Amino acid sequence: MDSRGPVRPSFAGSGLGGPVPKDVWILLGVVLSTFSLRFFASTAWLPAALSLTPAVWRQGFLWQLVTYPFVGFGQPGFWFVLELLILLLFARDVFWRLGRQRFWRLLALAALAGATVAILVDLGRFAVGSPFAGSLPLLQGQRTLLAVVIAAFATLNGEATIYLFFVLPVRARWFLGLEVLFAFLGFLGTRDLAGFLGLCVAIGFSWWWLQGRGRRGRELWLRMQEGWMRRRLAWMRRRRGFQVVRGSKKDPWVH
């Protein structure tokens, strides 16, 4: 995609076009299915168990830290369908840019970062004697997925021009600020401080990870592992009589 030219056309922004990947259809299907289960008495327990709640730290329901984005949230109607449509458009483009592995990794890591902050805020409220404020409406379900894929699109296509609703030209990178603005407006209406901060962290993490900071973090982790292995080999050589000789640069240690 030529980042100097306009991106056209799409409902909310679509730079690469092409077919919708099977993974994105599966993602939408899961969100829609879990959303539907909320409205039946016999199945409502499942989305309740997978959504983000204080049970993470009260009962040890740690799986909620990564399952909550895939549980559809809200009320049946036009806005829920609109959120799914926008999610489809942005997720399609981000998937083709990142590939399957990085796409799912981004969703999982950004959701985990946002949920961790939200739960820590809730824990802090409990510590000072303030009760849990609600159900984290700003962070739950497809809203976190939307925040992450839109932030990813804005990061990957920062200089592209998107025709928002077909008519309003907007630079893709502006969506990062617009997301935070909309989240703040949502906070004013819900007083969901934990959800607002968690959403901001999910957006910021998506930008940070795709800017290459995540890659440098992984390189640092690999260097730490290499240092640990060097010390372990040195210990084994002293204690067990192993002989360690230097090999090539590609395989620096040969036993």
Write down the mean pLDDT value for the chain: 80
Instruction: Report if residue 143 sits inside a domain.
Output: yes
Kindly state whether residues 161 and 101 are assigned to the same domain: yes
Listed residue (81, 73, 97, 120) closest to 206, CA to CA: 97
Kindly state whether residues 225 and 155 are assigned to the same domain: no
The secondary structure of 31-48 as a DSSP string is HHHHHHHTTSTTTTHHHH
Domain count, the chain: 2
Predicted local distance difference test score (pLDDT) of residue 80: 93
Q: Per residue in 8-64, pLDDT tens? A: 434 444 444 578 999 999 999 999 999 999 999 999 999 999 999 888 888 889 999
Q: pLDDT-based confidence at 6, cuts 50/70/90?
A: very low
Instruction: Report if residue 79 sits inside a domain.
Output: yes
Kindly state whether residues 237 and 158 are assigned to the same domain: no
Is a pLDDT exceeding 80 seen at residue 157? yes
Calpha distance 165→177 (Å, rounded): 18
Kindly state whether residues 206 and 222 are assigned to the same domain: no
Q: Which residues contact 69 (CB under 8 A, 6 or more apart)?
A: 107, 111, 141, 142, 144, 145, 148
Residue 23 in 3-state DSSP? Answer: helix
Kindly state whether residues 167 and 219 are assigned to the same domain: no
Instruction: Report if residue 22 sits inside a domain.
Output: yes
- In order of 34, 62, 64, the CA distances from 48 in angstroms are 10, 14, 10
Instruction: Report if residue 1 sits inside a domain.
Output: no
Kindly state whether residues 167 and 204 are assigned to the same domain: yes
Kindly state whether residues 206 and 227 are assigned to the same domain: no
- Secondary structure in 3-state letters for 174-234: HHHHHHHHHHHHHHHHHCCHHHHHHHHHHHHHHHHHHCCHHHHHHHHHHHHHHHHHHHHHH
**CATH code, 159:** 1.20.1540.10
What residues make up the domain containing 113? 6-211
Helices (H), 71-158: 78-98, 100-127, 142-156
For the chain, the distance separating the N- and C-terminal CA atoms, rounded to the nearest angstrom, is 48
Calpha distance 84→120 (Å, rounded): 29
Please count the CA atoms within 13 angstroms of the CA of 64 that sit on its side-chain side: 25
Kindly state whether residues 222 and 150 are assigned to the same domain: no
Considering the entire predicted model, what is its pTM?
A: 0.74
Q: Which residues contact 198 (CB under 8 A, 6 or more apart)?
A: 114, 115, 116, 117, 118, 121, 136, 138, 139, 144
